[in-house]
A and B are shown apart, each in its own frame.
Chain A
Amino acid sequence: MKKALLFVLAIVTVLSVCTTVFADDLPTIQFWSTGSQNVQDVFAEVIKAYNAKEDRAANVELQFVLSGTGDTSLRSGYISAVAAGDTSRYDVIAENGTDFLRYISEAEVNGISDPESIFVDLDFSKMSNYPNVKMAASVYPEKLVPYRGTTVVFDYDSAKVPEPPQTWDELVEWMKANPGRFVYNDPDTGGAGKAFVIAAIYRQIDDPDAFKNASDPKYVDMYDAGFEWLAEIHPYIYSSGGHVQYAVKNQGSLDLLGQGEVWMTPAWADGTLTALENKTLPETVKMYQLSDLSLTGTDVDMALCATSQHQDEAYDFMNFVISPEAQQIFVDVMKAVPVVDAATLEQTDSVQAVSLLNPADFNIVSAGGNETTLLERWAEDIATLN
């Protein structure tokens, strides 16, 4: 027994000596993000590239939370860390621009006195690559660094739909002529369906500023027409076993499109391009927007946490993320829309494919706190129809 203990003790000592010898003196930055698997893959690549740099200011660790089941835990985890004064775990958080609104509103609900202070007001001069960034953060421009963009588009299979509808009214006619061939995913399970529902509802609001100020609580009372429209198209949505079924998760709609069960669906541009590359979607699948209203897109941004003990090092990492080198990785690995001019990147197939998506055309909408109302009402009014 004593011998065994001694042995273990010896091993522990040897190991601890080893690690102190090999570790460098750089601090560790905890970088948090959420999203689908492709986001995790791309950050693994970017962080690997950063940690291999000789002149890096820190070692970055990726803390990734898969969306769909864990995205809320990142938000509430960070807010409880702020509330508890825990400064050890969060340095930088990356999220969709409009999701940061939910951080601030949740901080407020949880009694944090200055909710906006959970993210630092940035000193942009500390990032030498920032002047090249062409995309603006949709919310809190003084706190957020955009690092990629993405948008929801309509995917259609050109082999089955040679002439896709061009306007929202034509889309309804097309659905009625091809029942069961259109699907959007349950908006609670993924952003593509949510973008479709938001566009469908806000386009029915008789106010030109509705999209710009989508988070204004006054619009909640004006959702009726939009929900009526969603109820009108309900019978023409994809059905299985005699019941209309909205796909689960963004991937759910892409699966149905790939299997030929539906011919048209809203989907993320990056998800579509990746699926085309992996051949899980047939080559005949194309992306486009309706001419009278685009589906919503988003800037995806980084924010510096107020709890970070290594803010200067975090600036160095964020500066790397918006460098041409890292932007190339975002485009090549996940078909993201770069925040720098695509012409400055190496012209790979991926760069050319995403060059067609112009961030300036993105219809960026932040429903903010109205989103919860919208999702709940969808679940009660639309999902229960049969």
Chain B
Amino acid sequence: MKTTKKSNWKTTLFIIGALTPAMLVSLGLVVYPMINQVIRSFKDPKSGAFTFDNYVYLFTNKLSSNAIWYTVVVSILTVILSIAIAYLLAMFLRFSNSKISKTIGNLYLIPRFIPSLVAVYAMKTIIADSGLLNRISLLFPENSPLYNYKPGMLYNMKGILFMNCWFNIPFATMIIVAALAGISESVVESAQDVGAGKLLIFFKIILPLSYKDVLIAATFVFMSNISSFTTPYLIGANFPQMLGVYLRKQFGNGKYEIAAATSVVIFVLCSISAIVYLYTNMKEQAWEEN
């Protein structure tokens, strides 16, 4: 009895010791600056007095209000597109045993290992109006409709969405594949035995067993895109800009209070998806208790 007590005491100390560095780092480098930013966003740049002006400016100014809705729209569309494609891809990887499926299974994670800056520049050389696609089209006869094809994908939402899909599909696929791998073959087979069609199996078995992971993938994709910078900076339009690019511009011009308010808006948008994430996880625990 005495020894267990002693080891308990030791374990507790060990846990505290192991957690302290992480706690200190997150308090010092995350929580403290965050609180600082929130306070600063309510300050008047000159007098330092409490004011809502920074937020009023943010939601009424043409540039910033457009940046907010544009960011939300781009992020939501990115989530829808990349999750839909990732889900189909994950199903193919999980339920097909063909060589193609195995090859894709080995290749699909490669984009995760390419630095984003390199990827964006590489994509630019392909989809630019004078890029690879255009050069190939110049090989067609001059009177064909494909001759001198200009993709027109750079510097607008199409380009950003395309690039975002490129980054996020592998990530979402990875999570969904893991979820689908947890669905045992025997469940699907027994459903097939009693005559269930493919659609029925999908809606009654596969989707219910994987939608939580899909939601988790979606929240992560949403969060990373709300604050993205490299892609919209390099292939986005001059206007509207995404919040990350707008934020940098405010910092560049020394508008630290506006920048702080912009950060808070980004934080709030991310929190919404964080709540979805937490809610999904809690629900799972409740289900497990039953």
Binding site for B on A (CB under 8 A): 69, 71-72, 106, 109, 186, 188, 240-243, 245-246, 248, 259-261, 372, 375-376, 379-380, 383-384, 386
9 contacts between A and B (CB under 8 A): A109-B254, A240-B129, A241-B156, A245-B154, A246-B238, A260-B130, A372-B253, A375-B252, A384-B62
From A72, A245, A248, A383, give the contact of B252 (CB < 8 A).
A72
How far is A241 from B155 in the complex, measured between Cα atoms in Å? 8
Query: Once A and B bind, how many residue pairs between them come within 8 Å at the CB atom?
Result: 58
CB distance from B82 to the nearest CB of A (A): 21
Select from chain A the residue with minimum beta-carbon distance to B155. Answer: A245
Residues of A near B283 (CB, < 8 A) are none
How far is A72 from B158 in the complex, measured between Cα atoms in Å? 31
Asked whether A240 and B156 contact (CB < 8 A) given A372-B254, A383-B238, A384-B63, the answer is yes
Residues of A near B62 (CB, < 8 A) are 380, 384
Q: B244-256 CB contact bits vs A (8 Å, 1 = yes)?
A: 0000110111100
Instruction: Please tell me if B109 contacts chain A, counting CB pairs below 8 Å.
Output: no
User: B130 near A248 (CB under 8 angstroms)?
Assistant: no
Residues of A near B237 (CB, < 8 A) are 243, 245
Residues of B near A71 (CB, < 8 A) are 252
Instruction: Please tell me if B84 contacts chain A, counting CB pairs below 8 Å.
Output: no
Asked whether A241 and B153 contact (CB < 8 A) given A246-B238, A372-B253, the answer is yes
CB distance from B263 to the nearest CB of A (A): 15
Residues of A near B28 (CB, < 8 A) are none
User: B238 near A72 (CB under 8 angstroms)?
Assistant: no
Select from chain B the residue with minimum beta-carbon distance to A373. Answer: B253
CB distance from A376 to the nearest CB of B (A): 6
How far is A261 from B128 in the complex, measured between Cα atoms in Å? 10
User: B130 near A379 (CB under 8 angstroms)?
Assistant: no
Instruction: Given contact pairs A69-B248, A248-B234, enumerate 6 new A-B contacts (beta carbons under 8 Å).
Output: A241-B151, A241-B153, A241-B155, A243-B156, A245-B237, A380-B63
Binding site for A on B (CB under 8 A): 62-63, 128-130, 150-156, 158, 233-234, 237-239, 248-249, 251-254
How far is A372 from B256 in the complex, measured between Cα atoms in Å? 13
Residues of B near A69 (CB, < 8 A) are 248
CB distance from A255 to the nearest CB of B (A): 8
Residues of B near A372 (CB, < 8 A) are 253-254
How far is A261 from B124 in the complex, measured between Cα atoms in Å? 14
Residues of B near A240 (CB, < 8 A) are 128-129, 150, 152, 154-156
Residues of B near A186 (CB, < 8 A) are 238
Select from chain B the residue with minimum beta-carbon distance to A369. Answer: B254
How far is A380 from B249 in the complex, measured between Cα atoms in Å? 12
Residues of B near A375 (CB, < 8 A) are 252-253
User: B254 near A72 (CB under 8 angstroms)?
Assistant: yes
CB distance from B278 to the nearest CB of A (A): 32
User: B239 near A188 (CB under 8 angstroms)?
Assistant: no
User: A241 near B154 (CB under 8 angstroms)?
Assistant: yes
User: B239 near A384 (CB under 8 angstroms)?
Assistant: yes
Main SS of the interface on chain A? loop
Asked whether A243 and B63 contact (CB < 8 A) given A72-B251, A260-B130, the answer is no
Residues of B near A261 (CB, < 8 A) are 128-130
Residues of B near A242 (CB, < 8 A) are 152
Select from chain B the residue with minimum beta-carbon distance to A259. Answer: B130
Residues of A near B155 (CB, < 8 A) are 240-241, 243, 245
**Residue of B129, B153, B234, B251 with most partner-chain A CB within 10 A:** B129
How far is A69 from B237 in the complex, measured between Cα atoms in Å? 18
Select from chain A the residue with minimum beta-carbon distance to B153. Answer: A241
From B158, B234, B239, B253, give the contact of A241 (CB < 8 A).
B158
How far is A240 from B238 in the complex, measured between Cα atoms in Å? 12
User: B63 near A379 (CB under 8 angstroms)?
Assistant: yes
Select from chain B the residue with minimum beta-carbon distance to A241. Answer: B152
How far is A380 from B62 in the complex, measured between Cα atoms in Å? 7
How far is A380 from B238 in the complex, measured between Cα atoms in Å? 10
Select from chain A the residue with minimum beta-carbon distance to B156. Answer: A241
User: B153 near A383 (CB under 8 angstroms)?
Assistant: no
How far is A260 from B158 in the complex, measured between Cα atoms in Å? 23
How far is A246 from B236 in the complex, measured between Cα atoms in Å? 11
Residues of A near B234 (CB, < 8 A) are 248
Residues of A near B150 (CB, < 8 A) are 240
How far is A260 from B129 in the complex, measured between Cα atoms in Å? 10
Residues of B near A379 (CB, < 8 A) are 63, 238-239, 249
Select from chain A the residue with minimum beta-carbon distance to B238. Answer: A383
User: A188 near B249 (CB under 8 angstroms)?
Assistant: yes
Select from chain B the residue with minimum beta-carbon distance to A372. Answer: B253
Residues of A near B238 (CB, < 8 A) are 186, 245-246, 379, 383
How far is A143 from B130 in the complex, measured between Cα atoms in Å? 47
How far is A260 from B134 in the complex, measured between Cα atoms in Å? 12
Residues of B near A188 (CB, < 8 A) are 249, 252
CB distance from B102 to the nearest CB of A (A): 38
How far is A277 from B253 in the complex, measured between Cα atoms in Å? 34
How far is A372 from B248 in the complex, measured between Cα atoms in Å? 14
Select from chain B the residue with minimum beta-carbon distance to A109. Answer: B254
Residues of A near B251 (CB, < 8 A) are 72
How far is A352 from B57 in the complex, measured between Cα atoms in Å? 52
Select from chain B the residue with minimum beta-carbon distance to A242. Answer: B152
CB distance from A105 to the nearest CB of B (A): 9
Residues of A near B252 (CB, < 8 A) are 71-72, 188, 375
Select from chain A the residue with minimum beta-carbon distance to B158. Answer: A241
Residues of B near A106 (CB, < 8 A) are 254
Select from chain A the residue with minimum beta-carbon distance to B129. Answer: A240
Residues of A near B158 (CB, < 8 A) are 241
How far is A109 from B254 in the complex, measured between Cα atoms in Å? 10
CB distance from B156 to the nearest CB of A (A): 5
How far is A241 from B128 in the complex, measured between Cα atoms in Å? 10
Residues of B near A109 (CB, < 8 A) are 254
How far is A198 from B253 in the complex, measured between Cα atoms in Å? 16
CB distance from A286 to the nearest CB of B (A): 20
Residues of B near A384 (CB, < 8 A) are 62-63, 239
